[in-house]
């Protein structure tokens, strides 16, 4: 595996590979890698000639300076994992390399970016669109891989790809869970042992709500999830919405569901750690 730190270095490698007709799989990450990231890498390895993993904690998508400051940074361990996973290039640029000038672009992402995470974290999705559009322009991937834990992020990135006209495939990958059901996240390391023991119950409530939904209205199901999670030690729900999986519009009745099942998206504060998860209502 080669570690590349400059855009010029990355472009040189990519141009040569593309001239040779190679396909490129890109896995964008913010590091602190875990099995969830590795599942994206494995998928990318199976579907492309070359795999590039970017490791970059993107300051423009953090609306909370403390969150940016405390975001785990584990470059050495990340590189060891990527090397073992058979990655060809780890692209690990500095902030100055990605943003030689402040990025003032405002993407017209529309309603998909205005609800849920968009409402709770103003500017977050614009920052994601800024960095992902730069990574796409730098890497010109054939395919790019994103985890469905950040379900709304994928819808936003699809919108950005439409706006910018990138010619690539977005590949959504299923959530990776610990054996006890907790969705894997780089933030999980910040949970105390007591919080970590309770956190899998978020997924258990979501999974149980699929059954509950069979004979309850959407509004009842939504409220049930909020109440059940709020009963758990350490937990406070920030939002729970059952939304259209393409537009991310929160639904108010099961009748509004189209062919693709609705998705329930939750954000929960477990102590001061913000956890997100989601469930598909395959009822
Ligand atoms: O999902 C993430 O880790 C980040 O939002 C991403 C897509 C790497 C952009 O910084």
Q: How far is the CA of 28 from the centre of ligand 1 (A)?
A: 6
Alpha-carbon gap, residue 23 to 14, rounded angstroms: 10
- Position 83 scores a pLDDT of 98
Atom from ligand 1 closest to the CA of residue 157: 7
The residue whose CA is least distant from atom 1 of ligand 1 is 29
- Nearest ligand 1 atom to the CA of 54 is 8
According to the model, what pLDDT value does residue 202 have?
98
What is the three-class DSSP state of 218? helix
What integer pLDDT is reported at residue 257 of this predicted model? 85
Eight-class DSSP state of 128: H
Q: Which of 37, 124, 216, 258 is catalytic?
A: 37
pTM: 0.96
**Low-confidence residues of the chain, pLDDT below 50?**
none
For 270-281, write each residue's pLDDT tens digit. Answer: 999 999 999 999
Q: Which H or E run contains 213?
A: none
* 153 CB neighbour count, 10 Å cutoff: 22
Q: Is 195 helix (H, G, I), strand (E, B) or coil?
A: helix
Atom of ligand 1 nearest to the CA of 150: 1
Q: Residue with the nearest Cα to atom 9 of ligand 1?
A: 128
Q: How far apart are CA 153 and CA 157, in angstroms?
A: 6
Q: Measured in angstroms, how far is the CA atom of residue 221 from the centroid of ligand 1?
A: 30
pLDDT for position 70 = 87
Mutate to test the pocket of ligand 1, among 59, 98, 150, 154 (most ligand atoms within 8 A of CB): 150
- Could you tell me which residues are beta bridge partners of residue 26? 52, 144
Residue identifier of the C-alpha nearest atom 8 of ligand 1: 29
For residues 242 and 104, give the distance between their C-alpha atoms in angstroms, rounded to a whole number.
33
Q: Which of 259, 66, 233, 237 is nearest to 224 (CA)?
A: 237
Active site residue 203: no
Q: What's the 29 CA to ligand 1 centre distance in angstroms?
A: 5
Query: What are 169's strand-pairing partners?
Result: 143
State the CB neighbour count (10 A cutoff) for residue 79.
19
> Residues with Cβ < 8 Å from 13, sequence gap 6 or more?
2, 4, 89
């Amino acid at each position: 595996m080669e570690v590349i730190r400059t855009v010029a270095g990355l472009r040189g490698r990519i141009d040569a590979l593309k001239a040779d007709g190679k396909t490129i799989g890109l896995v964008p990450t913010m590091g602190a890698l875990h099995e969830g990231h590795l599942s994206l890498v494995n998928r990318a390895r199976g579907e492309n000639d070359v795999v590039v993993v970017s490791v970059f904690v993107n300051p423009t998508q953090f609306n909370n300076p403390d969150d940016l400051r405390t975001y785990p940074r584990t470059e050495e361990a990340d590189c060891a994992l990527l090397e073992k996973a058979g990655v060809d290039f780890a692209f690990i640029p500095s902030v100055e390399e990605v943003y030689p000038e402040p990025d003032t672009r405002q993407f017209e992402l529309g309603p998909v970016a205005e609800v849920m995470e968009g409402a709770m974290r103003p500017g977050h999705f614009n920052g994601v669109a800024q960095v992902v559009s730069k990574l796409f322009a730098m890497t010109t991937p054939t395919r790019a891989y994103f985890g469905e834990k950040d379900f709304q992020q994928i819808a936003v990135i699809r919108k950005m790809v439409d706006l910018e006209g990138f010619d690539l495939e977005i590949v959504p990958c299923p959530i990776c869970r610990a054996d006890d059901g907790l969705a894997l996240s780089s933030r999980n390391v910040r949970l105390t042992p007591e919080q970590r023991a309770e956190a899998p119950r978020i997924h258990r409530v979501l999974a149980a709500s699929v059954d509950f939904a069979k004979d309850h209205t959407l509004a009842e199901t939504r409220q049930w999830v909020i109440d059940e999670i709020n009963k758990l030690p350490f937990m406070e729900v920030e939002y729970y919405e059952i939304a259209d999986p393409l537009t991310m519009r929160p639904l108010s009745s099961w009748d509004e569901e189209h062919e693709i099942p609705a998705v329930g998206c939750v954000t929960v504060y477990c102590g001061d750690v913000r956890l997100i998860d989601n469930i598909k209502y395959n009822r």
